[in-house]
Amino acid sequence: MPTPILPAGLHVFERGWLSANNILFTDGDETLMVDSGYCTHAPQTLSLVESILGERPLDTLVNTHLHSDHCGGNAVLQARYPDLVTLIPPGQASLVTRWDPVALTYLPTGQLCPRFKFSQTLRPGTQMRFGASDWQVLAAAGHDPHSLVFFEPISKTLISADALWENGFGVVFPELEGLDAFAEVAATLEMIGHLNPKVVIPGHGRVFMYTPEVLCAYERLDSFVKNPLKHARHAAKVLLKFKLLELQRQSLDEFAQWAEATPYFIQIREKFFADVAVRMDRAIVCRVSCCRRSQKRWGVHSECLSCTGSWIKSAARHTHHQVFRQPLKLVVSLSCSGWEGVVPTCYGHQA
């Protein structure tokens, strides 16, 4: 795949999975950043910003949407840059004003997000100056009903947040709450198809060239539409993985207790797996410690994967494990990674 070329003055910090990528604009009179990452990574976010800006202040912060991995660094950036103007999507502005961590989903998902304030709301359908160029502000419901994406038509660059990743898109949260949103995901993908971007800066993962042929988002959506249980399992896996990336390590008992007490898991269970109890087996602990001892890195640990596979097989004999075997597999995989969730990569502009 050819190397994506980014417009001048645009810097992308590709973060680990826990924090969304940050896009920093340094061209033009004012500096601006899109999304601020997760709160536990806020010191890193700050040092990444300072490494580019030096003494220059960050003038504006824009959030694509208000998931904790996209706005968890807002509070720290606001403290560091007291004149920072913060713009958020309009849909949840009143919830931010009165700070409702339940409606903002931070409490139900068991995630953290320090309270922040905002200056103005973004207006879908308008244009906004990012650095030295004009970007279209576009509504992109599906993953989140209030999410926005940003498009620059001259360079054909899209900031896609969690509406489009190289390997799919973010969990369709409204579906977990019993609302139909797969059609909105399809409409957003269609809108992106019409924009026909050249380069996509996703909310997570590397910057990539947009070629409809290689995108697996449609295929993924289709499989979820046909089998919503698959999506629910995927969502549970994502939420567990997210928490593990935040915690880095925790005893299995505590982790299971956390999952059982977290409203989103209760909701997913009641809605999709009412007859199945969440249960994690002690056997996983052995596998985890065995994998940790091996110190092998995620992705190159065929030995660990095969031991995981055999454990999954034995666990699958118990009905209780059927549903959560994928998340459990992931728990093990994460432990193999050496608990590293932060691999910041900085793409400087290349044109």
The residue ranges that bind Zn ion (CB under 5 A) are 20, 67, 69, 162, 170, 203
User: Least distance from C-beta 64 to Zn ion, angstroms?
Assistant: 8
Pairwise CA distance, residues 260 & 97, whole Å: 30
User: Least distance from C-beta 231 to Zn ion, angstroms?
Assistant: 15
User: Least distance from C-beta 306 to Zn ion, angstroms?
Assistant: 31
Pairwise CA distance, residues 46 & 48, whole Å: 5
Inter-CA distances, 26 with 60, 132, 296, Å: 11, 8, 39
DSSP assigned state of 21: P
Whose Cβ is closer to Zn ion: residue 69's or residue 175's?
69
For Zn ion, the nearest residue by Cβ is: 67
Pairwise CA distance, residues 208 & 293, whole Å: 35
User: Least distance from C-beta 277 to Zn ion, angstroms?
Assistant: 29
| Strand 85-88, strand 60-62: pairing | parallel
The token pair that represents 114 in the structure block: 């320090």
Whose Cβ is closer to Zn ion: residue 58's or residue 161's?
161
Whose Cβ is closer to Zn ion: residue 140's or residue 328's?
140
User: Least distance from C-beta 21 to Zn ion, angstroms?
Assistant: 9
Closest residue by Cα to residue 104 from 114, 120, 92, 86: 92
Whose Cβ is closer to Zn ion: residue 20's or residue 199's?
20
Q: Are 162 and 57 in contact (CB under 8 A)?
A: no
Whose Cβ is closer to Zn ion: residue 15's or residue 287's?
15
Q: Are 130 and 32 in contact (CB under 8 A)?
A: yes
